[in-house]
């Protein structure tokens, strides 16, 4: 396989999306896997650091609504809900948010089995050919 250039990497359309039926809301929502930056922001929002910089506790307040808000997009692939609107989304049916959140987790590589599989499949990096004799 050929090595990729920076331009090829940044031009690649690598984010997956899926339409999810939500009969409770009378239609379908589009769920887009989060970018690396969005995923990091989501994960960071769940952690409360102490004054020493160590994790003090997990902030699970509206964690499912946060995930859905970062992942639900319109036909134009723009987010439907901003971070400021998470509470509003969090007031919706928890089972519906769970259904949407499960898809968002899968598309964003956030499921426990995804993380474990990546950790178990990691290999030591291969080095280039040695020029020493």
In a domain, 125, yes or no: no
In a domain, 48, yes or no: yes
Where are any strands of DSSP class E within 1-133? 17-22, 27-32, 47-49, 55-58, 72-73
| pLDDT value for 127 | 47
**DSSP class of residue 61?**
T
In a domain, 119, yes or no: no
Domains identified in the chain, total number: 1
Task: Name the pTM for this structure.
Answer: 0.79
In a domain, 84, yes or no: yes
**Angstrom distance (rounded) from CA 77 to CA 73:** 5
Q: Is 41 helix (H, G, I), strand (E, B) or coil?
A: helix
In a domain, 128, yes or no: no
In a domain, 2, yes or no: no
Each residue of 13-41: pLDDT tens digit? 999 999 999 999 999 999 999 999 999 99
Give the structural domain span for 81: 15-112
Name the band, by pLDDT with cuts 50, 70 and 90, for residue 55: confident
């Amino acid at each position: 396989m050929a090595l990729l250039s920076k331009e090829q990497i940044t031009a690649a359309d690598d984010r997956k999306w899926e339409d999810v039926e939500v009969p409770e809301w009378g239609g379908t929502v589009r769920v887009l896997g989060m970018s690396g930056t969005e995923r990091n922001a989501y994960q960071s929002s769940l952690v409360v650091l102490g004054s020493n910089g160590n994790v003090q506790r997990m902030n699970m307040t509206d964690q499912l609504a946060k995930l859905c808000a970062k992942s639900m997009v319109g036909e134009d692939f723009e987010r439907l809900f901003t971070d400021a609107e998470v509470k509003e989304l969090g007031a919706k049916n928890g089972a519906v948010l769970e259904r949407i959140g499960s898809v968002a987790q899968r598309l964003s590589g956030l499921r426990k089995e995804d993380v474990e599989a990546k950790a178990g499949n990691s290999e030591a990096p291969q080095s280039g050919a040695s020029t020493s004799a």
